[in-house]
Amino acid sequence: MKRILILGCALIWAAGAGAAVAQIIGPGRSISDPPPIPRPPPPKAEVPPIPKLDALPTQRTVTTPRSSFGDRVNRCLNEAAAGGLNQADGASYSRSCAAARD
């Protein structure tokens, strides 16, 4: 009789242990942590079209005309004066500024 009682208790304990294992929370986690955010889908890789040797270009590139060097220097000298630079600093500023401007 004792063996049947012990066997019955062992079976009941084994049946309940599976549900209890599922409720164990891992280290560094809390029961109030929200579920993780799903990862975004990976970006689509598209192969650009290969241009043909005989085909004419489809895009027209129009560049705006560049202002003259003198106009760019005058604009940069005005900026240097507005910034409070002296003549020597203003001259070096206007040289680098005019070369970099369009």
Q: What is the pLDDT of residues 36-94, one digit of tens each?
A: 889 989 989 888 888 788 877 777 667 778 888 889 999 999 999 999 999 889 889 98
Q: Give yes or no for residue 6 having a pLDDT over 70.
A: yes
* Model pLDDT, residue 76: 92
Beta strands, E only, the chain: none
* Token representation of residue 53: 């040797």
* Token representation of residue 2: 């004792």
Q: Give yes or no for residue 17 having a pLDDT over 70.
A: no
* Model pLDDT, residue 20: 55
Q: What is the dihedral of CA 46, 47, 51, 56, to 10 degrees?
A: 0
Give the pLDDT band (50/70/90) at residue 21: low
- Measured on CA atoms in the order 69, 72, 76, 82, is the torsion positive or negative? positive
Q: Is 101:76 a contact under the CB 8 Å cutoff? A: yes
Mean pLDDT for 23-31 is 68
Mean pLDDT for 17-35 is 66
